[in-house]
Amino acid sequence: MTLLVSSRPALIEAFTVPKGFGDQTLRDRRPDAIELLGGIPDPSVLPTAELAEATARVLAAPGAPSLQYSRTEGIPALREWIAAREGVAVERVLVTNGGFHGLALAVQTVLERGDLVAVDNPVFPLFLRGLELADARVLPIRVGAEGLDVDELASQLRDGARPAAVYTVPEFHNPSQSSLPTERRRELVALAETYGFVVFADDPYRELRFHGEPESVAPFHDSDHVIHVNTFTKTLGPGLRLGWVVLPERLVPDAVALRSRQDSHSSTFVQAVIAELLTSDAGLFDRVLERARSLYRSRARALADALEAEAPGVFDVAVPDGGLFLWPRLNDEAIDADRLAADASAEGVEYQRGSFFASGPGTDADRHLRLAYGDTDEDDLRTAAARLARAVSRQR
């Protein structure tokens, strides 16, 4: 399936979705297949018991206010908690139906039809689908070991490129797992203010850091040229469909007006449950995060060690400082990456090929594998590594 980001022939930018993305249930596969496909949180670290208790308290409230309409911006208790966590004025917080909804609102608020948008290369590919809302053109910007290549972006701007927006995942980038250092964030924001574009900072993995010190979000929050997008998807559960955006004050009225013309507001009930969960026990969210960080740290290391033990020297593997993915690179150029994916599937392990994430030329994404470990236990991760090694041996 090929997705066209512009319908005008002279402006077409396209990417091809490899067979298997989004239709895994339709594929023939081994019944014992181990899937390392998506950034899915492990059920064991989600606060299910606490959510059940919070739900009961919310439903017991006189008059059942959680089952009524509420404000477009979100219920006050939840917005206030988010604002305090982000360190911003509550008026800048708009509650959304998850992170991708926040991105869609950003696209529709900022972009005019046919605008140019600079994007990560490699990129979270569903964002390119979101750009179809504005029939946008795409300018790929390389992502390296320190996130978005701000120097390359600056060069493109000096050469005359005029994007209306720049999209990046600044922390534990999907798929590369790199993070944009604080100083580079300041440089990116300075470019946005100089050239007049808006940064879409998509930050769903920020809370899942298990090594090192976090990068600052202050450069994003201190500028009126950044929309900062976040979600509870990776921390409290994707089924909640609950996230938020921190908007520049100048864009708040437009974003709220747009939202009021769509679904009006996110579920009052879900917002009320999450607000009750987070405010009734001030330390609960951080305890949830600590459990998650410990588990994902262990799984990331287990998978990296297993790859080296089962297939010594085949992959260049860096254990990330956070997030839900490994991004190993094939060291042997003679190994056909597409054939490896097919052989791995036959052996009973499924993953996303790196080529899926390329938004343009100039990247070695096709030599990478994206391996998700969030919802897979360590025994299965070791089994997956062994199966992957057998798939590699088919080409040797």
Mean pLDDT within 134-152: 97
Residue-level pLDDT at 30: 80
Output the pLDDT for position 144. Answer: 95
Q: Assess contact for 362 and 121: CB atoms under 8 A.
A: yes
What are 242's two structure tokens? 């609950």
Q: Please give the angle made by the CA atoms of 334, 335 and 337, to the nearest 5 degrees.
A: 135
Express each pLDDT in 329-346 by its tens digit: 999 999 999 999 999 999
pLDDT score recorded for residue 334:
94
pLDDT (0 to 100) of residue 396 = 82
Q: What is the pLDDT of residue 22?
A: 39
- Integer-rounded Cα Rg, in Å, for the chain is 21
* Identity of the residue numbered 104: A
Residue 26 has pLDDT above 80, yes or no: no
Q: What is the pLDDT of residue 391?
A: 97
Q: Identify the CA nearest to 121 among candidates 81, 59, 166.
A: 166
**Average pLDDT rounded to a whole number, residues 212-227:** 97
Peptide bond into 175 cis (omega under 30): yes
For 167-185, give the secondary structure using H, E and C. EECCCCCCCCCCCCCHHHH
Task: Pinpoint the alpha helices (H) of the chain.
Answer: 48-59, 76-86, 99-110, 126-131, 150-158, 182-195, 218-221, 252-260, 268-280, 284-310, 337-347, 378-393
What's the mean pLDDT in 355-377? 96
Distance of alpha carbon 266 from alpha carbon 243, whole angstroms: 9
Q: Kindly report the pTM of this predicted structure.
A: 0.92
Residue 5: pLDDT over 50: no
Check whether 351 has a pLDDT greater than 60: yes
pLDDT at 16 over 80: no
Given a contact cutoff of 8 angstroms between Cβ atoms, the answer to whether 144 and 106 are in contact is no
Mean pLDDT score of the chain: 93
Residue 17: is its pLDDT beyond 80? Answer: no
Q: Does the pLDDT of residue 3 top 70, yes or no?
A: no
**How sure is the predictor about 164, in pLDDT bands with cuts at 50, 70 and 90?**
very high
User: pLDDT value at position 31?
Assistant: 85
pLDDT number for residue 389: 98
Minimal CA–CA distance to 359: which of 82, 76, 166? Answer: 166
How far is it, in rounded angstroms, from Cα 34 to Cα 333? 26
The Cα angle at residue 209 between residues 80 and 36, in degrees rounded to 5:
110
pLDDT digits (tens, 9 = 90+) for 59-118: 999 999 999 999 999 999 999 999 999 999 999 999 999 999 999 999 999 999 999 999
pLDDT of amino acid 14: 34
In the chain the domains, ranked by start, together with CATH numbers, are: 2-45+286-393 (3.90.1150.10), 58-284 (3.40.640.10)
What are the residues whose beta carbons fall under 8 Å from the beta carbon of 296, sequence distance 6 or more?
42, 208, 210, 322, 323, 324, 373, 374
Tokens matching residue 109: 């608020």
User: Is residue 282 within 8 Å of 122, Cβ to Cβ?
Assistant: no
**Percent of all residues in the chain with a pLDDT value above 70, rounded to a whole number:** 93
What's the confidence (pLDDT) of residue 28? Answer: 62
What is the model's pLDDT at position 18? Answer: 36
